[in-house]
A = this chain, B = another copy of it.
Amino acid sequence: MEIKIVRNVLESNDKIAAEIRQRTAASKTLLVNLMSSPGSGKTTLLEKLAPLLQNKGYRVGVIEGDIATTMDAERLQPLNIPVVQINTEMFGGDCHLGAEVISPALDNLDLSQLDVVFIENVGNLVCPAEFDTGADLNVVLLSVTEGEDKPLKYPLMFRVCQLALISKTDLLPHLEFKMDLLRQNIQKINPKIAIFPVSTRQGEGLSNFTEWLVERLNK
């Protein structure tokens, strides 16, 4: 009985996710789902990335997902881009964003005027990987402070993503962290995933990520 209901929830989510892909394909909007542990730097990445994409002529929007507060949406205000905040506390403090909350969030954006919309998922390296948001691309951030073992311990997240960004590389001199070991661990889980080290402080890797996105925007 329980299993049946869980399956229904996932089937219903997948159906809405498919509808989202039809909508974003029609408006030629790329939907990118950013996932990570809390505090890996998703919001800071968006603060730095949006101007780089705007400079190249792309119109950017953001869907912010948090259990509580509008702090992240407020941080993005200076960018002057459309931002929709979802607070999952309204639906019981959900630990992830499902397609059923992304769909009404998209209603609040004029997709005909947007080339790329980023979803900043709830900070959680587990549950967001289990729910299709309707995004075209899944990207995981992992900060170097979290340790090289995380891809092996949280494998689903690295399986469902096309790109892994290794964030906060400016802290490497102060850590015992082996980038090669992390790369090996990620590739054990997903040999096809792209991997870019990034530092929003030093600007490292931002152009790699921008080019990677532009390639997919022009498809």
Contacts and interface: CB of A to CB of B under 8 A. Distances in A.
B146 A38 contact: yes
Interface in A126-152: 126-127, 130, 143, 145-147, 149-150, 152
Count of identical protomers in the assembly: 2
Given A146-B39, A149-B71, A174-B171, A125 B127 contact: no
Contacts of A72: 153
Contacts of A168: 145
Contacts of A9: 2
Interface in A47-85: 66-69, 71-72
A145 B5 contact: no
Contacts of A68: 152-155
Contact of A153 (B1, B2, B67, B155): B67
A47 to B, nearest CB: 13
A101 to B, nearest CB: 15
A37 B155 contact: no
A43 to B, nearest CB: 9
A124 interface: yes
| Residue of A2, A38, A71, A124 ringed by the most chain B CB atoms within 10 A | A38
Nearest to A127: B95
A99 B130 CA distance: 23
Contacts of A155: 67-68
A119 interface: no
Interface string A182-209: 0000000000000000000000000000
A165 to B, nearest CB: 15
Nearest to A189: B68
6 contacts: A37-B146, A38-B147, A38-B150, A38-B153, A39-B150, A95-B126
Report, nearest first, the 5 A-B pairs whose CB atoms are least far apart: A39-B146, A95-B126, A145-B145, A37-B37, A39-B147
Interface of A: 1-2, 5, 9, 37-39, 66-69, 71-72, 93, 95, 122-127, 130, 143, 145-147, 149-150, 152-156, 168, 171, 174
